[in-house]
Structure 1
Amino acid sequence: MAKKQKLEHSELAGEFAEDGVTVLVDIYRPAGSQNDWVLEVVTEEDDVTTWEEPFATDREAFDEFLATVARDGIRSFFDGDDPIVH
């Protein structure tokens, strides 16, 4: 049985609400590593948006999330059936 890898979550990760919509912003990397950070956004309907390229810092990842919300709106993370990739 394979062990599940432990993750380190950024202090910037958490719930984000705008226009009556709340999403979970998850910024993480393997625990104990200096790897780049992965950015995922999960909606209340369990739609998951994952960025293809990792970020050097958790701040860069969070800033990209904020830029996406400003550009496309928070509702852009909601999708019908397919996962969204940025």
Structure 2
Amino acid sequence: MLAGYFYDSHRTPHVRKQKDGDKYLIQVTHPGQPIPTGSRIEVVGLVPQGVSIGRFSPPQGWTCTPPCPIVGPDAFTCTFVVTTAIPLNGTLPGLVM
């Protein structure tokens, strides 16, 4: 199971993780005030011992490091820079790995 944390300097969005077979979906939804253009959103995922991520292509707008394969115990960070304001209850493109 992947553990994930979301942080942003001044907002508290929701992060939902789902497992579907051998894939995990990390979905970020923001329930608060709109997030303005230029904000940076980061998701940190913890990969536990015995789990590996063999391939992963982040969706448009996301950049993730380190490159795959990622073998636990390790962590990855995915960053999204907001180019168009994210409205109340807005959802970012999902991270599927």
TM-score by length of 1: 0.38
Q: Which has the higher helix share?
A: 1
Q: Which has the higher strand share?
A: 2
| Structure with larger RCO (C-alpha < 8 A, sep 6+) | 2
